[in-house]
Structures are given as structure tokens and as C-alpha cells.
């Protein structure tokens, strides 16, 4: 690979997460990795609308104030030597409007500015090319020197929508967990007296936590399970525009607590579950290291390549997941159980099959561990990014 220019400055504009965002986490990992390789990385925060603020006047007043702050930071790129801007672009009209004014200004006055636009969601996969939101979206992409996506399905869709293939790069995600030793992973997966399950995500209903708890409730009624099950639901409260079933914290919390009581309180139940309201750093790593089965039945409309799946693979977990977004290009049936329609009944059956077969847990867990090491490691991820940067320079 060509030697990269030393200490070149890259500006990273990405959404500041309200709680946790895989999109933001991917940008932060990239910044840390490139900085360690000698790049000068500068952060520019794009602030989302905080729907948890109850007063709509205060909610939108704060949003507008923060949006102007973002604009001022971006417009500063007008001055000084040629620069590189990495824009992690959301996929809604609101996301486009948050950066439209400074982006248009920069493209008019700084033709030497190199722009890389990254896409971490998959909403655009369902857009018609003639729709207004698609036209605005495509305008951004055509003004970019490079566009990165997470998988071939996304790349194919953008080519179909009219983006030149030479602008498009597939750059998969990575994760910052240490990849587990194979012998340790195998030993964990073979344990049978008590099997540990984990669902870790934001508590957004379409991420699959209701189906996870309902599946556990079904299993709690089965007195013939081959072993005890110790499950963990880990995640903070979160709400998006896609939430329909639960729209406030009170009803969501009441429903979760009721399910947990039902699962653990049933006479003769071999299933227990506890709720941890978020975990980061060593606490999160420990949850993944202890889990034998990771359950992620997402149907989230903007899902692409979830970081939690890579973290579960790095930890040697057997995976039960869905076919939404770029999940099928990240894992396939050789290393995961994939459910196109992840209902509670299907999840319960898939979990029961893995409870009965330690050998199958080992096959899936070690297969995922190998793929993580071969394809999604941090070093390969950064190499891919430096190739993109080198190309546009």
C-alpha cells in the first residue's frame, strides 16, 4: 500500500448520540484508529432532535440552537489549506437539512475540499429514485468524492439509483472488543449445567427485545429443558420515530418488569432473566465473554450492520439473529441462525435447539470467531479506510 501523507487533517461530522448510536460509535472508533496511525482527526458534532424533551417549544428551540452551532463548525472549513471532510450521513430529510446549508456553501466555495460520505443505515434501500427524499439524498452522494457502505447489497442499490460505481466503497464495520481465544470460547460454549443468553441493544421495540422476553416466557413453561437458562436483557430506554408499541418510559418499563416477573416466577421454571440498564467498557465486555448465546432478532427499519453482532462474534457467542439490513452479508447460516420472521415462537425453538446441542453452539460460535478474525478485525478496517482516503487524494 502507498505510504500515506503524514498528519493530514480529517474533519469528522457525525451525529452526537443521545444515549448510544452504532453510527456514532463507528465514527468514534474510526477517529481513534486513524489518530493512532498519525492522522490529525477533528470532531464536528451534529446534534439530533431529542424527542425525550417533553416541551415541544424547548425541544425545537434547543435543536435549532445546536444546529446553528454545527453549521458554524462546518463553515470554518472554508478557511485554511485543503481539507478532508468525513460526513456520517443520516437518512431522513431532517438529517439532510441539519447539514444542507454548510454543505452547499462548502461545495460552492471550496472545490478542493474532499468529501467522504458514509452510510450506516439502510432506509434508502426502500426508496424510489423519484421520491423527494431520494433526490436530496442522491444530491449529497453525487457531491461526494467517495461514498462508503457496509455491504454489497447497499452498493448494488446505489448503483441502481444512479451513483457511479467508482465512487462507491464497501467498508464493513469493526468492533473494539478483544477477539476471544479459540480454546476459551470453546470451553465456554460447551458448558451445559447453566446456559447464559444475552440480548444487548438500545431498548427500541424493533431491535427485538419484546420477542426475546416473550421467547423466554415460552421457554419458562417447558419443564423438560435440558438445562437451566440464565438470560440478560441489557439496554437503556430509547425511542425513535419508528416506535409504535411503546411511546413512553413508564409503559415500557412496566411491560418489561411484568415479563421478567412472569418468566422467573413460574413454578418449576428453569429460566431466569435480569435487566441491566446499559453497559459500556469492561462491564459490556464481561457480558459478552460470559454469554454462550447472543439473541438479536432485529427488524429495525434502519438496521445495517449492527456493531453488537460483531462484538458477539469477537466473544465467541453462538448467534440467533434476523435477515434485516446487511446482517445476511455479515453472517450467514454457516455461522448463525437467521430468522426472516423472528417471532417469539421461532426464537424459542431456535434457543431450545441450541440448549440441546452444545456441539452446535461450538460450531456457530467458533465459526463466527474465525470470520471476525479474518474479515472484521480493526487492522483490516483501518487499512480499508486508508485506501479510500488515498484514492480521493
What is the per-residue pLDDT across 7-59, written as a single tens digit (0 to 9) for each? Answer: 589 999 998 876 667 788 899 999 999 999 999 999 998 888 777 778 888 88
The pLDDT of residue 240 is above 70: no
Percent of the chain whose predicted confidence (pLDDT) is above 90: 65
> Is the separation of the CB atoms in 33 and 378 below 8 Å?
yes
Q: Give, in order, the Cα–Cα distances in Å from 354 to each of 47, 66, 364, 365.
A: 42, 48, 10, 11
Q: Could you count the other beta carbons within 10 Å of the beta carbon of residue 43?
A: 13
Question: 173 exposed, middle or buried (CB, 10 Å; 0-12, 13-18, 19+)?
Answer: buried
The pLDDT of residue 336 is above 60: yes
Question: pLDDT at position 8, please?
Answer: 85
Residue 69, all three cell numbers: 452551532
What is the per-residue pLDDT across 249-308, written as a single tens digit (0 to 9) for each? Answer: 888 999 999 999 999 888 878 999 999 998 989 999 999 999 999 999 999 887 889 999
Q: Does domain 182-375 have CATH number 3.40.50.2000?
A: yes
Average pLDDT, the chain: 90
Strands (DSSP E) contained in the chain are 9-15, 40-46, 84-89, 114-119, 146-149, 168-170, 194-200, 228-234, 271-276, 293-296, 318-322, 336-339
Compute the distance between CA of residue 384 and CA of residue 136 in angstroms, rounded to an integer: 28
DSSP β-bridge partners for residue 14: 45
Compute the distance between CA of residue 160 and CA of residue 176 in angstroms, rounded to an integer: 33
Question: Residue 207 carries which DSSP code?
Answer: G
Question: pLDDT at position 272, please?
Answer: 95
Fold designation for 9-174+378-392: Rossmann fold (3.40.50)
Question: pLDDT at position 267, please?
Answer: 81
DSSP β-bridge partners for residue 296: 321
- Indicate if 182-375 has the same CATH topology as 9-174+378-392: yes
- Indicate the domain borders of the chain: 9-174+378-392, 182-375
Amino acid at each position: 500500500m502507498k505510504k500515506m501523507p503524514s498528519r493530514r487533517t480529517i474533519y469528522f461530522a457525525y451525529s452526537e448520540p443521545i444515549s448510544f448510536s452504532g453510527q456514532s460509535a463507528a465514527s468514534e472508533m474510526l477517529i481513534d484508529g486513524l489518530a493512532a496511525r498519525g492522522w490529525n482527526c477533528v470532531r464536528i458534532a451534529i446534534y439530533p432532535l431529542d424527542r425525550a424533551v417533553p416541551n415541544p417549544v424547548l425541544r425545537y428551540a434547543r435543536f435549532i440552537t445546536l444546529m446553528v452551532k454545527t453549521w458554524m463548525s462546518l463553515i470554518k472549513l472554508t478557511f485554511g489549506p485543503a481539507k478532508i471532510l468525513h460526513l456520517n450521513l443520516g437518512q431522513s430529510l431532517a438529517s439532510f437539512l441539519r447539514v444542507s446549508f454548510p454543505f452547499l456553501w462548502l461545495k460552492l466555495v471550496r472545490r478542493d475540499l474532499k468529501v467522504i460520505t458514509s452510510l450506516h443505515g439502510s432506509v434508502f434501500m426502500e426508496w424510489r429514485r423519484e421520491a423527494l427524499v431520494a433526490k436530496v439524498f442522491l444530491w449529497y452522494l453525487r457531491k461526494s468524492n467517495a461514498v462508503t457502505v457496509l455491504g454489497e447489497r447497499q452498493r448494488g442499490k446505489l448503483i441502481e439509483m444512479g451513483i457511479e460505481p467508482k465512487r462507491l466503497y464497501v467498508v464493513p464495520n469493526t468492533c473494539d472488543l478483544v477477539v476471544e481465544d479459540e480454546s476459551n470460547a470453546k470451553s465456554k460454549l460447551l458448558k451445559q449445567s447453566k446456559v447464559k443468553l444475552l440480548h444487548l441493544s438500545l431498548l427500541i421495540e424493533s431491535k427485538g427485545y419484546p420477542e426475546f422476553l416473550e421467547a423466554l416466557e415460552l421457554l419458562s413453561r417447558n419443564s423438560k429443558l435440558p438445562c437451566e437458562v440464565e438470560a440478560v436483557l441489557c439496554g437503556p430506554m430509547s425511542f425513535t420515530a419508528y416506535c409504535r408499541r411503546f411511546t413512553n418510559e413508564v409503559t415500557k418499563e412496566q411491560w418489561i418488569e411484568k415479563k421478567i416477573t412472569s418468566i422467573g416466577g413460574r413454578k418449576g421454571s428453569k429460566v431466569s432473566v435480569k435487566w441491566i440498564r446499559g453497559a459500556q467498557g469492561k462491564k459490556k465486555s464481561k457480558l459478552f465473554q460470559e454469554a454462550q448465546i447472543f439473541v438479536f432478532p432485529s427488524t429495525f427499519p434502519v438496521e445495517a450492520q449492527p456493531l453488537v453482532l460483531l462484538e458477539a462474534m469477537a466473544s465467541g457467542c453462538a448467534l440467533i439473529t434476523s435477515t434485516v439490513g446487511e446482517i445476511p452479508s455479515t453472517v450467514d447460516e454457516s455461522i448463525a441462525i437467521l430468522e426472516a420472521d423472528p417471532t417469539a415462537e421461532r426464537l424459542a425453538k431456535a434457543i431450545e435447539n441450541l440448549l440441546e446441542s452444545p456441539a452446535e453452539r461450538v460450531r456457530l460460535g467458533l465459526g463466527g470467531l474465525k470470520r471476525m478474525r479474518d474479515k472484521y478485525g480493526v487492522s483490516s478496517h483501518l487499512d480499508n479506510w486508508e485506501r479510500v482516503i488515498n484514492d480521493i487524494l
